[in-house]
Structures are given as structure tokens and as C-alpha cells.
Structure 1
Amino acid sequence: MFKIMSKLYNYIIVLNFFLVWIGFYLPEQIKTSIGLLGILSIGLIHGSNDIFLIKNIQRQQSILKYIFYYSLFIISFAVAFYLIPIVSLPVFILASAYHFGEQHWQKAFLKAPNYIKQLFFICYGNLVIGMILYFNQVESTTIIENLSGFVVNESIYLFNILVSLIITSISFILCAKKINSKASTIVLNIFYLLLFTATFYVSDLIWSFALYFVLWHSLPSLKDQIDFSFGSINFQNLLMYLKQSFVYWLISIIGLIVFYFLLKDTKYILSILFAFIASVTIPHVFVVKKMFEKKAST
């Protein structure tokens, strides 16, 4: 499994360099369209198999019950995002941060204490998100203001990065002896952070988010989900995963298209996109957390 994941990350590194390079030559509109296509295809479909993941985790329950509660969760958060965005937006960012950190580091932290592990996941993920926002402050501030009415000062972006980096480093040191990771792996992950920094520095908001979300998060997550659901990663199991996910993915896309045609003449398209992603992300974070706990216990 580790060899497969290592090989996958080698491909991701090459793709990252290639897409950053080609991004210099693509017209802005085409680059944005490609980025959104990646987010709405690979990025969105990696979270479209949650119902079947839950069924595999809790085998005795009915799938209709899962669909009901999962849909209720999404609708409830969407309503909360509309009514109290100043609260819902930070919740979404922290949940996404935890999700990113868990996906990247959960294999190394299997034996680490839960409270330190969870703190590390949140701060590491928030460091990545913070860099995306910091290097794209104008676009980020506009979206945050449209969603919540709150105007983020430039110093807040930098403060967020520094605090996340400090807490990430401290929490890593506190449980270093229990981390299942060699020195070479630590060096490699420092390289990843430097690569993220360079990528976000030279890319706009959508391109930065798409590169990280699709390449560094969604592809490894797809690999883990297929491995958990079907026992191994191969072409046939990939097709089975896509078949299971297709209906839920299609429903999500149709919902987003309806929003687009209703609001396409406004300035809030990107804000609507991020609000939509937020609504489907929150329950997905809990499902994947349960999946990793189930894998660790077996």
C-alpha cells in the first residue's frame, strides 16, 4: 500500500510541475475553466461515494437511512451557511483543514495520541489553506466578504500562517517518537510544503485550490476509498467506485448548475461555488474520519 501511495505521489509531483508551468501560458479564462472542471469532476466525485462508505462502516443499517441523514446534514449546513455565515465559514475552514491534514498524515500518525494528532491535522491543513488565501488575498477577501460580510485584513492571513506553522511544528515534536515516519519521509514532506508555497505564490486562487484539492487531496483520497471499499486498487475497482458514485455526483452537479443559471449575472459565482463545496464537505469529513478509524482498528 505504501509503495502504491508513494508511486502515486511521484506522479502528482510531476503533474503539479507541469500544470504550474502550463499555467503561465494559458489565458486566464481557460485556466479558470480547467481548474473548475477539475474541482467539479475529480474533486467532487471523491466525495460522492460517502453513502457506500457509511454502509461499509456500519453494515447493519439501511442505505435509505444513510441517504436521509446525510442529505439532512447537507441541507442543515447549507441553511446555516446562509443564515449565520460568520460562524459557518470558520467551521467549514477548520473542518476542511482537519480533512486535508488527516488525508495527508493519517498513516504516519496511527500510534500518536488522539488529541495531539487531531491538533496536528487541523493546523497542518490550515497552514495549506492559509497559504492559498495569503498568496491570493484580493480574490480571497472578496469571496469571504461576499459569503460572510467580514473583511479580512492582510495581517490576519499572515498571522494565521505563522500560528499554524508554530503549532504544527510543536505538535509534531510532542509525538515524534510515536509517529510512524522515517527521517526521509519528514524531509519529503518539508519538500511538499515548499512546493505548495511556490505553487500558490505563482498561481491565482482557483488554479492554486484546484491543484491542491484535485492532485494532492482528491487523488490520494480516491485511492484510500477504493482500497477500503473493494480491498485493492485496480482498474476494475476504480470503475466500480465510479459507478457507485455517479448518481450522487450527478445530483450534486445538477444542483450546482441550477444555482449557476439563477445567479450567473451576479458577481457571486465563486462564492456560491465555495458555499456549495462547504455544504457537501462537512458530512464528508466525518465519513472519511470514520473510514480511517475503521481501517486502523482492522
Structure 2
Amino acid sequence: MIRIIQYGIAITLGFAYLTIDVNSQLVNSFCLILILLFGIPHGAVDHRIHLSTSKDTSVLKYILRYVLIAAGYILWWLLDPTKALFIFILLSAYHFGQELLEDNKIKNSDVWMRMIWGLMILVAPMIYHIESISGYLNVVTQGELPDFGFWRYIVPSAIILFAIGSILLFKRRGIEKKSIHQLSAFLGFIIIIHVLLPFVLAFTLYFVLFHSLNAFKHQYKWLKSKKSNYDISRFAGDLVGFSLLAILGILSLLWFLKPESQTTLITYFFILISLITLPHAITLDQFYRFRSQPRLSGGLK
């Protein structure tokens, strides 16, 4: 049922974009608001996830480590933005691929499998849309982007073929047919939305409707399994505090930076998102690995 709702909303919004003449700046603003309201909160319970999968019992210690990792990453952005961008893209790809396979009940997947699906979700579309998103990337790289030429079609096609190959391998490994069918449907969905829609909108539909909502589902089920009286209202309450703090922090920094154009605004926005993506991805990697262990231990702190 949840998948039907996810695809239904994505198809409805995509169809609305294709049939209604909407200003691109308005669409981009809508996407940023969606990411702020639904994307940011999916990392707001990282502290609870960490405490339920670790012997560490100190929330303050975890938050301090979280902040220090983010601070270290922003220093990297300042010193070498091109390499920081490259790491952010690869990290995000791994994180997206891992979440996707976990959501389809493919446990203990190989690292290269996670990367293939992450590259299919993020990197293949970026290369395919390289001309339209070059303005964002040039803000970071200062015009040092390679000229992909015809490779902008070859590389995404090769990544998609690797993803199809992994589906065939999953089938040989005896993965449930339901998971195979869901992965195949998702592959087709990602290809279609990136062929028909601009990158920012297509990415937002994926990030909000699939990645973030799936993460909410995984986190809530896990936390509820660790404490019987944990319900949806408590989960929502846990999301609010750190979500508001992160949103206010991002908006304050954007106001301070005063981007001169929407292109610069969107670039700065995703750089700021990257600062919390790194510690979040580390936490979720720990969570998925712990959850896949035969014997589960630890309780909700």
C-alpha cells in the first residue's frame, strides 16, 4: 500500500509538471521546501538509532561527535571543494543504494551492489543531466568539470546495465520474486522520471517519497520493536526537535551567505545538506549492519 502511494504521488506531481506551464524557479523552490520539510527530518532520530545499536549510552557524546564530523567536513569544503563534492556524491550514492536494497529485504548486500544501485540513483542521472546542472557544479568546481560529450549517454547506460545485471544475480541467489519485481519497477521509475523531468525535481521526488519515507518506516519499526510503548506520536515528537534545529540552522546560514542567484542558493543548500549527510550515513550504515545480525541486542535508551 505504501509503495502504491509513493508511486501515485510521484506520477501525479510529474504529470502536473509536464501538463502545467510552471516557472522553473517556482518548481525549484517547491523542491527545496519539500526537502527541508521531509528530507531533513529523516535523520532527526539518528541519536536514538545509534543508542539502540551501540553500547554508548551518552546522547551528548553522540551529538558532539555528530557536530564534529559535520564541522570537519565543512572545513574540507573550504579547503578543497572539488574533492569534497566528489566524496559527497559517492557517499550519498552508497547511502541511497544501501537503503534501497534494505527496503527490498536484500540483507547483507555486497558493497559493490550498494554502489551500483546508488550510482544508478544519483550519478547516472547527474551525468545524463550534466548540461542542465553544470551551473550548480561550477559554483563548487569553478568550471573544472570534464567534458562528457557523448559519454553523458554511455556512462548512465552502462550503470543501468550493471543494475540490471545485479537483478539477474539476485534472482540466481534466490532472492524473493517480490523483491526482484520491486527493484525492477524502481529501476524503470528512476529512468523514466529522469528522462522526462529536470534533475532537481526528479531527484526530489525520489529523495522525499522513497528514500526519506522509507527511512522513516525503517526507523519507526525498529524503535517500536525495542520498546513496546513506543508509538507514532512519540516518533513524531522525536523528529520535531532536531528537525527544527537543522532547518533553522540551514536557513540561517543561507541568509548569512546571501546567495546572489537561485543557482548559487541551490548549490549552497546541498552543500549544507552534505554536512549532516556524512554523520547520518555513518549512523544508518551502523544501523543496517546491526539490524542484519542474526541475534539482536540492545534496547531503546
1:136 aligns with 129
Q: 2:105 aligns with which of 108, 112, 135?
A: 108
- State the Cα deviation string for residues 76-98 of structure 1 (Å, max 9, x = none): 11111221122111111111111
2:12 aligns with 18
Question: How far apart are 1:46 and its partner, in Å?
Answer: 0.3
1:181 aligns with 176
- State the Cα deviation string for residues 121-160 of structure 1 (Å, max 9, x = none): 1111111213432443233212112112322423454344
Instruction: Measure the CA separation in 2 of the matches of 1:179 and 1:266.
Output: 53
| TM-score of the superposed pair, with normalisation by structure 1 | 0.87
% same residue: 20
Instruction: Measure the CA separation in 1 of the matches of 2:138 and 2:217.
Output: 36
Note the aligned Cα RMSD (angstroms).
Answer: 2.3
Change (3 A) 1:68 1:179: farther
1:28 aligns with 24
| TM-score of the superposed pair, with normalisation by structure 2 | 0.86
Q: 1:288 aligns with which of 281, 284, 288?
A: 284
Total equivalences in the alignment: 285
Question: How far apart are 1:15 and its partner, in Å?
Answer: 0.9
Aligned 8 A contact 2:14 2:193 in 1 = yes
Deviates more, 1:18-27 or 1:7-16: 18-27
Query: Aligned partner of 1:286: which letter?
Result: I
Instruction: Measure the CA separation in 2 of the matches of 1:144 and 1:129.
Output: 14
Query: Aligned partner of 1:178: which letter?
Result: R
Change (3 A) 1:227 1:108: closer
- The answer to whether the aligner puts 1:202 opposite 2:196 as a matched pair is yes
Q: 2:39 aligns with which of 27, 40, 43?
A: 43
Give the 3-state SS of the residue equivalent to 1:109 in structure 2: coil
Instruction: Measure the CA separation in 2 of the matches of 1:178 and 1:59.
Output: 34
Instruction: Measure the CA separation in 2 of the matches of 1:14 and 1:285.
Output: 28
Instruction: Measure the CA separation in 1 of the matches of 2:73 and 2:154.
Output: 28
Aligned 8 A contact 2:113 2:166 in 1 = yes
- State the Cα deviation string for residues 216-271 of structure 1 (Å, max 9, x = none): 11101110011111229xxx733322312222212211221122222335231111
1:83 aligns with 79
Question: How far apart are 1:64 and its partner, in Å?
Answer: 0.8
1:4 aligns with none
Instruction: Measure the CA separation in 2 of the matches of 1:21 and 1:88.
Output: 35
Give the 3-state SS of the residue equivalent to 1:46 in structure 2: helix
Instruction: Measure the CA separation in 2 of the matches of 1:73 and 1:179.
Output: 39
Instruction: Measure the CA separation in 1 of the matches of 2:202 and 2:162.
Output: 24
Instruction: Measure the CA separation in 2 of the matches of 1:126 and 1:137.
Output: 15
Q: 2:147 aligns with which of 139, 147, 153?
A: 153
Question: How far apart are 1:49 and its partner, in Å?
Answer: 1.4
Q: 2:64 aligns with which of 48, 65, 68?
A: 68
Query: Aligned partner of 1:22: which letter?
Result: A
Give the 3-state SS of the residue equivalent to 1:43 in structure 2: helix
Q: 1:275 aligns with which of 271, 282, 286?
A: 271
Question: How far apart are 1:38 and its partner, in Å?
Answer: 0.9
Question: How far apart are 1:59 and its partner, in Å?
Answer: 4.3
Query: Aligned partner of 1:201: which letter?
Result: V
Instruction: Measure the CA separation in 1 of the matches of 2:75 and 2:69.
Output: 10
